[in-house]
Amino acid sequence: MKILYILPLAMMLSCCSSVKNQTGATDTGKLDTQLLKDVEVLSSDAYQGRKTGTKGAEMARAYIIERFQKLGLKSYPQHVNYAQEFTFNGRSGAKVNGTNIIGYIPGKSTNAVVVSAHYDHLGVVKDEVFNGADDNASGTAGLLKIAAYFAKNKPNNTIIFASFDAEEMGLQGAKAFVGNPPVNINTIAIDLNMDMISHSDKGELYVCGTFKYPDLKKFVDTAKTNIKVLFGHDDPKQGHDDWTNQSDQGAFNAKNIPFLYFGVEDHKDYHKATDEYSTITKLFFSNAASAVLDVVKNIDKQTGLQLLLKDKMRMMDNPRKSERF
C-alpha cells in the first residue's frame, strides 16, 4: 500500500533526473528524455493524482503552463494565461470547477487542428495515490512533445494544444471547449486526441476514428518497425470496445468534428494505484509519441483540410451527394 505523502515541489523536481538512452536502443528507437521527464513529474506523488478541483490538479496546471510559456505557445485573449475555466455538475449534483489549459501556434491559414490530451486523473482513493502515469500523464507529455516540434517548425494550419481537465468526470473539459471554443468551431478541421499511450507489453498503439473517417488512414504510417500501429476500436458493433466516445474526442464527435484517437488497450494497471512511472513501457512510449507526431505532421501538410473532411462527412451523411464528386 502506498500511503499519501506530499514532497516539497523543489525536492520533487530535483529528483526528476533525465533518463539516459538505453544501450542498444538505436535499433528500435531511442528514449525521449524530455517526454519521460514530463510523465515522471506529473505522475509523482506530489501531484496527488491530479483530481479535478484539488491542489494536485493546480500543480499540474502550473507545470503545463510553464512548459507552454517556455515553448512560446500563444494564449487566446479570452483565456488569461492559457486558462479556460468552466463549471459543471458533479455526479453528486454539486458544482465543480475545472480548468482547461489552451495554447496555440498560428499557422499560415485560419484552419485549425486541435491536439488534445487530458491531464486530470482520479486523485487519492483510500489513502492511495492514483498517479495516472499512463492515464493520462502520457498523453499530456505527448502533447508537449508535439508542441515543441511545431514551436520550431511553423505549421500550415493553426494548431491548438488543448490540455483538458475533468475527462475522468465525463469529458467535461472537452465538452466545455467545444461548447465555447476559442475560434469559430467551423474552422476546426480535426481533433487528434491522446489518452494512454505509454503502456503496452505488446507494443501496440491503436488509432481510432478511421471507421467513420476512412480517408484519414492515409495519414497514418502503419509500417513502423519499432511498434505496431493498428486501426480499430471504432466500430459501433463492438459495443464497449468501441472507443469513439470514451475519451475527449467524443465531445468533438458529438459536434461532427472529425477525429483520430491514439491509445493502448486496457492493462493490469489501468485505473489502479500501480499506474505509475515505474510501470510504463518507456521505449514503447517514446516510439508511440513519435508515431503520433508523424501523423500530426502528415495532416498539417494538407491544404484545404477542413473543407476536405467536412465534404467527406456530408457525403457520408447523404450518399446521394457523392454524385457531384
91 within 8 A of 169, measured Cβ to Cβ: yes
pLDDT, position 19: 36
Structural domains in the chain (count):
1
Cell of 71: 515553448
Per-residue pLDDT band for 92 (boundaries 50, 70, 90) equals confident
* Range name among 103-107, 166-170, 238-242 with the lowest pLDDT average: 238-242
Q: Within a domain: residue 28?
A: no
Q: Within a domain: residue 122?
A: yes
Cell of 311: 465534404
Partners of 121 in the β-ladder: none
Average pLDDT taken over every residue of the chain? 88
Q: Which domain holds residue 302?
A: 38-316
Q: Within a domain: residue 25?
A: no
Q: What is the pLDDT of residues 286-313, one digit of tens each?
A: 999 999 999 999 999 986 666 666 555 5
Q: What is the pLDDT of residues 193-237, one digit of tens each?
A: 999 999 999 999 999 999 999 999 999 999 988 899 999 999 999
15 pLDDT higher than 80: no
Q: What is the pLDDT of residues 168-202, one digit of tens each?
A: 999 999 999 999 999 999 999 999 999 999 999 99
Cell of 7: 514532497
What are the phi and psi torsion angles at 123 (to 5°)?
A: 80, -140
Partners of 80 in the β-ladder: 83
As a whole number, mean pLDDT of residues 6-19 equals 39
pLDDT, position 313: 56
By percentage, how much of the chain surpasses pLDDT 90?
79
Question: Which amino acid would we find at residue 324?
Answer: R
pLDDT, position 86: 98
Q: How many CB atoms neighbour CB 45 within 10 A?
A: 18
Cell of 213: 473517417
Helix, strand, coil % over all residues of the chain, rounded to 5: 40, 20, 40
pLDDT, position 150: 98
147 within 8 A of 91, measured Cβ to Cβ: no
As a whole number, mean pLDDT of residues 272-293 equals 98
Helix or strand run (H / E) with residue 95: strand 95-105
Contacts of residue 211, Cβ cutoff 8 Å, sequence gap at least 6: 231, 234, 235, 244
Q: Within a domain: residue 51?
A: yes
pLDDT, position 5: 36
pLDDT, position 27: 41
pLDDT, position 224: 83
As a whole number, mean pLDDT of residues 109-125 equals 96
Report how far residue 229's alpha carbon sits from residue 214's, in angstroms, rounded to the nearest whole number.
16
pLDDT, position 302: 86
Helices 55-71 & 138-152 angle (0-180, nearest 10): 20
Per-residue pLDDT band for 109 (boundaries 50, 70, 90) equals confident
Report how far residue 52's alpha carbon sits from residue 169's, in angstroms, rounded to the nearest whole number.
8
Q: Within a domain: residue 220?
A: yes
pLDDT, position 312: 56
Classify 230 as helix, strand or coil. Answer: strand
Q: Within a domain: residue 29?
A: no
Q: Which residue has the higher pLDDT, 238 or 323?
A: 238
274 pLDDT higher than 60: yes
92 within 8 A of 85, measured Cβ to Cβ: no
Q: Within a domain: residue 119?
A: yes
Instruction: Report CA Rg, the chain.
Output: 19
Q: Within a domain: residue 17?
A: no
CATH code, domain carrying 241: 3.40.630.10
Report how far residue 171's alpha carbon sits from residue 165's, in angstroms, rounded to the nearest whole number.
8
Measured CA distances, 147 to 47, 211, 296, 323 (Å): 23, 27, 11, 40
